[in-house]
Structure 1
Amino acid sequence: MEAFLLSTGIVALAEIGDKTQLLALLLAARFKKPLPIIAGIFVATVLNHFAAAWLGQIASAYITDNLLRWVLGISFIAMALWMLIPDKLDDDMPLLDRVGVFGATVIAFFMAEMGDKTQIATVALSARFDALPAVVMGTTLGMMIANVPAVLLGEVAARKLPVATVHRIAACIFAVLGVVTLVGF
């Protein structure tokens, strides 16, 4: 249960103001069809985060406990620092218009998550907890918690959320996880 709850909370916070949340806003504004966008976000997140969690499980099997502790601790602290750097979405998606709203969302979200904070957090959380299903369900729920309102409320919600404050809170959580992991609690 700890892996699920922590994964949900960390990803929900990390996703506020993230490029994929900006992508959700862009897709909502462009297509104005929230249900296929939400379904596409869900499918892309499950696929991407399952692969990331699986990679975390494999990595943890081949790395000694002491080395894993250091790698995870430093990764969490690096994530804390990364959270303090604002995200922006640079790419337009003209070719994705041909695959429909659902297809565009799945492709765009899957690609946007590659190497993203939440994907890397999923790898680290999976390696830390050795609970692939709980981590995937938690990170997916965290993505949905952050992105569904963005799709439904659009730009109004993005302007009202204190993104910098949310990023600082998430950075503190990652920093605490890093220190706790390094100390070995």
Structure 2
Amino acid sequence: MDLSLVEGFSKSLAMTVLSEIGDKTFFAAAILAMRYPRRLVLSGCLSALIVMTALSVFFGWAAPNLISRKWTHSITTLLFFGFGIWSLWEGFTEQGEAEELSEVEAKLDADWKANSVGAKAGSKDDDDLKKQLRPFLTQFFSPIFLKAFSITFFGEWGDKSQIATIGLAADENPLGVILGGIIGQALCTTAAVFGGKSLASQISERVVALSSGVLFIVFGIQSLLSVPLPGS
């Protein structure tokens, strides 16, 4: 098996798991699964994360074709060190799990309250129309699926793990990065849906943050010591 594929896969898998455990999207999936059918929440969240991973890898793969390989390699190295310091800072200052969980819960509660008020304000005719349209619409997408997808997709956009995936794909085998990222996202999302809140309470957010920080620093050192592949 191609060594670059294995290296890209292992780096992406480790980075994704350590970045996503206790993240906003992790808690969002856990909370949604407590109120809605798990299969719909899992499929919606996982679909969003797969799309996000594929887009990130594509951007990372395309970057060396638009910018000099030397520049993308240098940017990736700086990103690894930057995210490593960021994660270590979060770990030492113990900012994370409780703050993330309360923030996600507050946003979702506000959303549910707004939806319930809007539903009560609707007339009987509106309800009858919704009942007629629902069988047609659910043949394509469930509202729960769409909610889980949108919350996860926009919650992950611009996140540390997304930017790190772009940098990793620019410096490693893109196929290995996307496979490792998707498998890592699948593991984290499944864990979140089937008991994420209890799992998060048993795992120290500080340990996760420090571990991911060390991992990013190691990636940065490895990238600093390696020679960029020849490119434009």
Q: Same fold (TM over 0.5)?
A: yes
Q: Relative to structure 1, is the Cα distance of residues 36 and 96 closer, same or farther in structure 2, using a 3 angstrom cutoff? A: farther
Mean Cα deviation higher: 97-106 or 170-179? 97-106
Q: Relative to structure 1, is the Cα distance of residues 75 and 96 closer, same or farther in structure 2, using a 3 angstrom cutoff? A: farther
Extract unaligned runs of 5+ from structure 1.
Answer: none
Query: Percent of aligned pairs with the same residue?
Result: 25
Runs of 4+ in 1 over 3 A off after TM superposition: 93-99
User: Would you say how many aligned residue pairs link Structure 1 and Structure 2?
Assistant: 183
1:39-78 paired onto structure 2 within 5 Å? 39-78=43-82
AA at the equivalent of 2:183: L
1:25-104 paired onto structure 2 within 5 Å? 25-31=30-36, 33-84=37-88, 85=90, 86=96, 88=100, 89-90=103-104, 91-92=107-108, 93-94=111-112, 100-104=143-147
Hey, what's the Cα distance between the residues in 2 that align with 1:96 and 1:137? 37
AA at the equivalent of 2:33: A
What is aligned with 2:153?
110
Larger Rg, first or second structure (1 or 2): 2
Contact 1:24 1:151 in 2 (8 A): yes
What is aligned with 2:184?
142
Contact 1:14 1:83 in 2 (8 A): no
Q: Greater RCO between the two (CA within 8 Å, min separation 6)?
A: 2
AA at the equivalent of 2:75: V
Mean Cα deviation higher: 47-56 or 90-99? 90-99
Hey, what's the Cα distance between the residues in 2 that align with 1:74 and 1:169? 18
Hey, what's the Cα distance between the residues in 1 that align with 2:66 and 2:221? 23
Extract unaligned runs of 5+ from structure 2.
Answer: 1-5, 91-95, 120-141, 228-232
Hey, what's the Cα distance between the residues in 2 that align with 1:100 and 1:109? 14
What is aligned with 1:178?
220
**Secondary structure of 1:17's match?**
coil
Q: Does 1:163 align with 2:205?
A: yes
Contact 2:57 2:166 in 1 (8 A): yes
**Deviation sequence 1:95-122 (CA, Å, 0-9, x none):** 7899622111111111111001221121
**Deviation sequence 1:51-109 (CA, Å, 0-9, x none):** 11111111122222322221011001111123243362443344789962211111111
What is aligned with 1:6?
11
Contact 1:28 1:154 in 2 (8 A): no
**Secondary structure of 1:173's match?**
helix
AA at the equivalent of 2:201: R
Contact 2:73 2:170 in 1 (8 A): no
Mean Cα deviation higher: 98-107 or 1-10? 98-107
